[in-house]
Amino acid sequence: MTQILITVGTTSFDLLVEQVESSIGKYTDVIYQVSHQSKYIGKESNIFPYLDCFEDYVNKADVIVTHAGAGSVYDFLEKKKRIIVVPNLERYDKHQKELANYIDKNNFGLVGCAYSSNFENLIDRVLVSDFNPYSKVDFFFADGLYKMLD
- State the pLDDT at residue 17: 92
Can you list the pairs that 132-136 forms with residues at least 24 positions away whose Cβ atoms lie under 8 Å? 132/106, 132/107, 132/108, 133/80, 134/77, 134/78, 134/80, 134/106, 134/108, 136/74, 136/78
Instruction: Report the predicted TM-score, pTM, of the whole model to 2 decimal places.
Output: 0.88
Per-residue pLDDT of 18-65, as tens digits, reads: 999 988 888 989 999 998 888 887 776 688 887 778 999 999 999 999
Q: Is the pLDDT of residue 141 over 70?
A: no
Q: Which of 57, 101, 94 is nearest to 75 (CA)?
A: 57
The Cβ of residue 117 has, within 10 Å, a number of other Cβ atoms equal to 12
Nearest 5°: phi and psi at 48? -145, 155
- State the pLDDT at residue 145: 62
Q: Could you give the domains of the chain?
A: 4-149 (3.40.50.2000)
**Do 63 and 127 touch, CB atoms closer than 8 A?**
yes
Q: Which of 136, 73, 70 is nearest to 109 (CA)?
A: 73
